[in-house]
Amino acid sequence: MIDYNKSPLRVISFNDQSIASFISDSDSNTDQKTIESFGLEWNAFNSFDDSELENIGNEYFDIINETHINASSNVLDVGCGTGRWSRYIAGKVAHVEAIDPSDAVRNAVQFNSEIKNIRITQAGVDSIPFEDESFDLVFSLGVLHHIPDTQKAMLNCVEKVKKGGHFLVYLYYDLDNRGFLFKALFRFSNLFRRGICKLPFGLKKAVCNTIAFLVYLPLARTGTAFKRLLPRSTFYEKIPLFYYHNKSFHIMKNDALDRFGTPLEQRFTKHEIQEMMTRCGLSEIVFSTKTPYWHAVGKRV
């Protein structure tokens, strides 16, 4: 466990546990509506099946190996939500510090209550309560594109990486490897997102569940059917939402809410992400060639 480099501003008591909180009004690189939205989202989706979590985790961490982490590594999970990726990686490292600015920290404590090498802390990218160069690996998956200044947030994360350590990031892609039709369908769906994200949470969740049932599920299962019928072909991989062909409906509902219910969303091309990582002092940057796009790892020099 790594010591905090400052005293918490308050302590949250939950299920006989104490969660140190470093959130303050001086945290400027935030969008409060988005933070509140995620707090409600992770309250609604507060647990995941371990076998499915392992399968999805393997997709996000496919470019992480023994050169990045080992049994003595200290790891920081920035924007942990329920702490699902902390849970995924905990058995492979010595200790995981998991931080999130929202009320999801309560769900993260509950979801990971039996895992002793994870500590949950309430903090955002402006208030990471650890000394610079403290961690062998810092990762932030599906988070920094929901922050107003993604570049600045990434720099704050990378500062916590030891020299020679690594930073793993997943940012929503700008469809830069997709064709015209795919992009057109996405732009059309984004019109709905702008309205749905403003709804009261209960109604928002109901609408997103409906989208998951009427859109995600049929397209995903269509992809599954084509994959089984034509195993030597790969055209089915271009079907929108094919990524979910082997995912549960629970995951589809969660991701539909994440996609359509979040007030602030930004997207980046592979080239833009590469440039941001380079400006943060990362080298040997490797992008995964597989979904979800784009996730990449870089080494701090």
Low-confidence residues in the chain, pLDDT < 50: none
Domain 10-173+267-300, CATH: 3.40.50.150
79: phi then psi, degrees, rounded to nearest 5: 80, 55
Q: What is the pTM of this model?
A: 0.94
- Contact criterion met (CB below 8 Å) for 74 and 135: yes
SS3 at position 273: helix
pLDDT of residue 1: 85
Q: Considering only CA atoms, which of 38, 12, 204 is closest in space to residue 106?
A: 12
pLDDT of residue 252: 97
pLDDT of residue 27: 86
- Contact criterion met (CB below 8 Å) for 161 and 286: no
In which region does residue 86 sit, left (phi positive, over 0), alpha (psi from -120 to 50) or beta (all else)? Answer: alpha
- One-letter amino acid identity for 10? R
Give tens-digit pLDDT for 16-57. Answer: 889 999 998 888 899 899 999 999 999 999 889 999 999 999
Given CA atoms 83, 89, 91, 94 in this order, what sign does their dihedral have? negative
